[in-house]
Structure 1
Amino acid sequence: MFVDLESRIHQYNEEQHQTCAKIEQTSDNQTVIAICTPLMKRVHEKIRHSGEMVFVDSSGNCDRHNCRIFVLLTHSSAGGLPLGIVVTTSESQSTITAGFNLLKSILPEDAFTGRGAYGPQVAMTDDSKSLRQGLHAVYPECSLLLCIFHLLQAMWRWLWDAHSGIPKQYRPYLLGLFKSLVYAESVGDLDARHNHLVNDEIVRKYPKFQAYVDTVYQRRKVWALCLHKELPTQGNRTNNFAESAMRVIKEKVFQRLKAYNVTQAVHFLCTRMEDYYVRKLVDVANNRMCNPSQSKYHADDGDVNFNNIVKVNGKFQFNDCEKD
């Protein structure tokens, strides 16, 4: 398999007349593959946001060997655009670090809009310890933020875990208290809300919840929005661009099927994924938005009864919620 991968990657690099992919075997016999296609290199050079903020996420269950696929993206007016892909046979921190170092070696000199080896200013991920440690090892000057959605989702799951011992009627209330910390408007407001949470009568009844919140609060620099005002996040608080890219990989690239092996998976990532984003950018440049208009989620004119729309206090609203 390793020989086949080497042969396929060598052939792909010759077709592109530049180094767009590399493969390497780590000291513990894990395989890492880095991909930066010509389109991804242009995104590095042309899209200013690539030097400000990137989104990183991973997915498995895409091939029969269950390799992990890590995707780096940046935001743009055309949506999320890929900056690089790392495929690994393990989720260990050392393997992920080796993968990102390999990707770093094939990026253009002016990667991340001229920042090069310094990497982006900000990177947003989910709460994967090995992924965050791997990114920090390769780009130590990059500020790592935590996706707000994954943070609140983890809190909600903890509250609903039977081992937490939280009664059902108190779970939404306790989640609301923690959520208020996330959306605090200033450092003083954050401290005040934290004190209110600690001294709350219901919170005091559940020491497990207090201990869990204290553990999360110690990492407030990565999730408290009031502490990110000086960072070039451009209003991005979640990892939605990366989640969308994973859906593209599974639906458009792999077509909801598993690749037979790693070689086929890499081939799809180098060809089908590249073609998808090329078509997307061409459609956006030519103002061809026919595909979104054909989506099953797009509301037709017949779905809305315009007689139910009335003007109240200078604003339009529905008089009732019934369909025509």
Structure 2
Amino acid sequence: MRIFGSECYAYKQNKKKLDSRCEKGIFIGYDKNSPAYLVFYPDSGKVNKSRLVEFITKSGTECQITDQLTCEDDVRRESAKTHLPKPEKIEPQDIRTETCDPSPNTGEKESVESRCYPQREKRPPQYLRDYECGINSDDDHAGDVPHTLREAISSPESELWSKAMQEEMNSLKENDTFTLTTLPEDNVVFYQPLDNDQDLIIVLQTECMRKDLQDHGSNIVFFDATHCVNQYSFPLFTLLVRDDHGHGVPIAYIITSNETQETLKLALRRLRPLFPKPPRCFMVDKDMSEINALNDVFPESDVLLCWYHVLQAIVRWLMKSDSSVSGPQRSSIRKEIIDYFKKMKACPMKADFDRMSKQFLKEFSHYKELCNYFQRYWEPISHRWADYGRCYNHGNSETNNLIERFFHRLKYQFLSGIRNRRLDDLLDVLLCKTETYFQVIKHLQSAGRMANCVAMKLEETLSKATRMMEKGWIDHITSESSEIYVYNVPSEQDSSLSYRTCPAECFCSCPVGLKAGSSCKSFTKQWSLQYLF
């Protein structure tokens, strides 16, 4: 710290060619908003901020430089010293100058001229003086401290770490820091504690979730994971269904210490007996651990890919330099590629997809990386993302948007945006706060306080089908085969065009039926024929 009222020389910023490089003043303090000194000039009576200042002491000059002296017109320290009063002659050992701390690598002192900012003496805060917390600690094992519970248990000093943790727990209990509680048995489907030989697995499902699974879990179940909801970075897997109002409601939670396929298999096997029957399909992102685990536990169910994440993965790959179509000059080519993927997505039959994929490979045959990418990653699993692989009622859903909305509400509404939650706090939020929220939503729905968009859309579709039946369109419906329940329903706009409908699968090949995966007017008309006759 400088002495208030010390004489100093401040570097002049706006000067002419023949003017002096510095001006004498008096130090009166530090600026609050910048690393600069406040200098009072007696001749002009002004106070200015300056970052380039030399102080005059009894033993000579002390230089405090916070920016390079070579900025602007190559100002050098030697030239600045020519305007300073000549100090008294003293012995070299008595000269006091500010120097930098020794370098941790070479042990040499850096010169003041090489510094861009002031190197003031760094002192620890007052409250830390009782602790040894410096970087230059003599402890050679400072870098070997485990950061997670698994690392502590598997380290050579595992017994010592276990003893230290037990002592910490005992002190917390003695001071009544918290109260240990057991997990509610009614809501815990499966619990496997974490140790050296096994991973942590917690499977949760409340009574209301079981009822939602019974009522809405036959067509499609959404499955995805989210992170940053607890201080241990454990992922939270959620299974979610669509209710009668089109809202997503969770039916189970899975908390694990990792995301491996074997861990997910064990958790899903514990959930499998709670399903009244295997759902028609699951919808996931392109996570192979989730896909393989679902195929192993639910072999009867299809696993569909979220179209949004499929398109997102394709766009991100096209933007890479390895794709050979990156850069702003090839934006039109990327648009054509995306349009081809959308056309392949809309193919209602496998033969249509094969024809479109051959056309795609022929059109972009000169882009070898693109063709290899498509044939390796997307063509073998086309039944998971193209429409021909989901020709049944999949709940009017092409994406995982419902479960993404739930994760957003969980993080920013129920968890209040706090990422490093304790695990017991997360369990309390999932089993209490979230459960209460969905109970309120159900009461509002049953009281008619929330609009039922699904029922409104179905009523509109039924009115259109009734109008077509009144016009005699029902006489044009033909059966494709007597062995299978597939019917040909003519189009209302183009009588030469007909659509294939299947009442068993709740499917219609019209554009609305393919996109929504639910009842359209053609299917409703055919269903009415089955009901009447």
Confirm or deny a common fold (TM above 0.5): yes
Give the whole-Å Cα distance in 2 for the aligned partners of 1:60 and 1:217. 30
Give the whole-Å Cα distance in 1 for the aligned partners of 2:425 and 2:268. 21
- Residue number in structure 1 paired with 2:257: 89
Cα-to-partner distance string for 1:163-199 (whole Å, 9 max, x where unaligned):
2121333111111112211111333322221121111
Segments of 5+ residues of structure 1 without an aligned counterpart are 291-324
Q: Does 1:41 align with 2:41?
A: no
Where in structure 2 are the equivalents of 1:56-205 lying within 5 Å? 56-78=223-245, 79-104=247-272, 107=274, 111=275, 114-115=276-277, 119-166=278-325, 167-200=330-363, 203-205=364-366
Q: Contact 1:33/1:102 (CA < 8 Å) preserved in 2?
A: no
Where in structure 2 are the equivalents of 1:132-281 lying within 5 Å? 132-166=291-325, 167-200=330-363, 203-215=364-376, 216-229=378-391, 231-281=392-442
Query: Which 4+ residue blocks in structure 1 deviate beyond 4 angstroms?
Result: none
Q: Contact 1:122/1:232 (CA < 8 Å) preserved in 2?
A: no
- Residue number in structure 1 paired with 2:444: 283
Q: Contact 1:21/1:37 (CA < 8 Å) preserved in 2?
A: no
Q: Contact 1:36/1:103 (CA < 8 Å) preserved in 2?
A: no
Q: Whose relative contact order is higher, 1 or 2, with alpha carbons under 8 Å and at least 6 apart?
A: 1
Distance 1:103 1:187, change over 3 A: closer
Distance 1:154 1:255, change over 3 A: same
Q: Contact 2:188/2:202 (CA < 8 Å) preserved in 1?
A: no
Cα-to-partner distance string for 1:270-324 (whole Å, 9 max, x where unaligned):
111111111111122222249xxxxxxxxxxxxxxxxxxxxxxxxxxxxxxxxxx
Aligned residues: 269
- Residue number in structure 2 paired with 1:295: none
Cα-to-partner distance string for 1:77-122 (whole Å, 9 max, x where unaligned):
23111111101110111112222223346x3xxx3xx31xxx3121
Give the whole-Å Cα distance in 2 for the aligned partners of 1:9 and 1:126. 34
Identity of aligned residues (%): 21
Q: What is the CA RMSD across the aligned residues, in angstroms?
A: 2.4
Distance 1:156 1:8, change over 3 A: farther
Segments of 5+ residues of structure 2 without an aligned counterpart are 1-148, 150-165, 170-179, 452-533
Task: Report which of the two has the higher share of helix.
Answer: 1
Farther-moved stretch of structure 1 (151-160 vs 188-197): 188-197
Cα-to-partner distance string for 1:232-280 (whole Å, 9 max, x where unaligned):
3133211111111111211222121125322221121111111111111
Secondary structure of the 1:273 match is: helix
Q: CA deviation at 1:20?
A: 3.8
Q: Contact 1:58/1:70 (CA < 8 Å) preserved in 2?
A: yes
Secondary structure of the 1:51 match is: coil
Give the whole-Å Cα distance in 2 for the aligned partners of 1:8 and 1:104. 28
